[in-house]
Amino acid sequence: MAKKYKLTRPELKRQRDALARFERYLPMLKLKQQQLQISLLEVEQAQAELAAEREKAEGVFRPYEAVLADYAGLDVRGLARPTEVKTATVNVAGVTTPVFEAVIFPPADYSLFATPPWVDRALADLRRISELQARQEVLQDRY
């Protein structure tokens, strides 16, 4: 239901002041809306790129999975889990959003002579997959 206005001078002045205020702030609000929409589009594109890159990295790692299941001397999956995900915050149109900075993994201390040579490559591939997953999680928080 439409609001009824009094037909008086003070009400007319209030309405004119409100109109001037709205006309002054509307362009700024539209600019903020555009900035947020652009940021969302960038996040969606980055998510799609990361998903493709992660699928590619998992494809590289798949040959190691069968061998990794048999090897019990070293917890490669445990060494590939990040201990910390570092993020920073960025202000986009007045909204603080997280931005990925780095992933920190535990140090890989194992004997190079007692482990098979494929362990190094498998660990690097698993860490890459973990990093991509952390990036995706930060982007999901940003979205």
Express each pLDDT in 20-42 by its tens digit.
998 898 988 898 889 889 988 99
Each residue's pLDDT tens digit, 62-107: 877 777 766 556 777 778 888 898 999 888 877 888 888 999 888 8
> For residue 142, what pLDDT is reported?
81
SS3 87: strand
Q: Calculate the CA 130 to chain-centre distance.
A: 14
46 pLDDT tier (thresholds 50, 70, 90): very high
**Residue 26, CB-side half-sphere exposure with 13 Å CA sphere:** 6
pTM score > 0.85 for this model?
no
Each residue's pLDDT tens digit, 4-18: 878 889 999 999 999
Task: Kindly list the domain boundaries of the chain, sorted by start residue.
Answer: 9-142
1 pLDDT tier (thresholds 50, 70, 90): low
The Cα–Cα gap between 30 and 112 comes to: 59
In SS3 terms, 63-85 reads as: HHHHHHHHCCCCCHHHHHCCCEE
pLDDT surpasses 90 at 50: yes
